[in-house]
Chain A
């Protein structure tokens, strides 16, 4: 089932000269799929991801989420959509340093307000357990390893049961063991929980483990390949 669709997406930074970050990008993301965006540094991978994740606004084209045009939504509506339907994992874990792992995961849950405090805490604990962080809930990010921080970030991304998880080089700061663990989590989120996962990466091993590989060059999507089934 189609979750997200970009039609001729473009992003140009105004200036003299204007800088084109993304040009005429058309792509579709289905539920239950793990998609990677690959290409050389500076080719516009992250810029495309920010457009797909409604963090940035396109200067051209159209973005549809579940068939609805979300291109022109105002800031608060975009924020609401991100909060309730999207989860983000960045290269740098981007956890709030003053708060414990549990509090970091609870923050988006509390903001949505779907659960009372106790139920929200139980959900956050369950997510930490599921990401292999049982017993680490009270630790602040500076007392966790790089791999653990990234797993907290993944737990936070899953906090509001998102349909779409977006990763911007989520394994870029991890060793091979932790990196493999994160990729396995992403694959499971897509294939076992029917979510869509989009991941920007330089790592061709991760790209090979994905279902769909989108290659970019100079701000343009140059190919979209469906990988053979990876067991």
Chain B
């Protein structure tokens, strides 16, 4: 039980940092693409369309993170699991839970965090006033 609390606390902290990463990446993308957002808005794309575009960007980032995390996690657990700790003359290994459930929980948590982290800047993107940008470009 204690071990699980420690593990999930650690993982949550990592997830929080990763979420800030996605938030920053999507926020920067929104800032860089203000002109394009204004163009799409003037052409007739709705606020919902634009939110969708940037949430998908966050999901893609989260998806890449999940795949990389699975591969790295798998490799790292292989290394950690192979380390031998001799206790009282007897070889011991770290107790690692490498079941499918752990991978699924990590992926689900990352996806939810990715959507939330991308949704805030996506909402901002959808509220860009095209008139401001079009006037500024003239």
Contact = CB atoms under 8 A, between A and B. Distances in A.
B45 A88 contact: no
A216 to B, nearest CB: 16
Contact of B44 (A96, A111, A168): A111
B44 to A, nearest CB: 3
Given A94-B39, A96-B36, A96-B39, A76 B46 contact: yes
B134 A83 contact: no
Nearest to A79: B46
Interface string B111-138: 0000000000000000000110011011
Given A79-B44, A82-B43, A94-B39, A169 B131 contact: no
A46 B42 contact: no
Interface string A118-149: 00000000000000000000000000000000
Contact of B46 (A80, A86, A92, A168): A80
Q: Is the interface of B mostly helix, strand, loop or mixed?
A: helix
Interface of B: 35-36, 39-49, 130-131, 134-135, 137-138
28 contacts: A46-B134, A46-B135, A46-B138, A50-B131, A55-B42, A55-B131, A55-B134, A79-B41, A79-B46, A80-B44, A82-B42, A82-B44, A83-B43, A83-B45, A86-B44, A88-B43, A91-B137, A91-B138, A92-B137, A92-B138, A94-B137, A96-B39, A96-B40, A108-B43, A111-B45, A156-B43, A168-B134, A169-B138
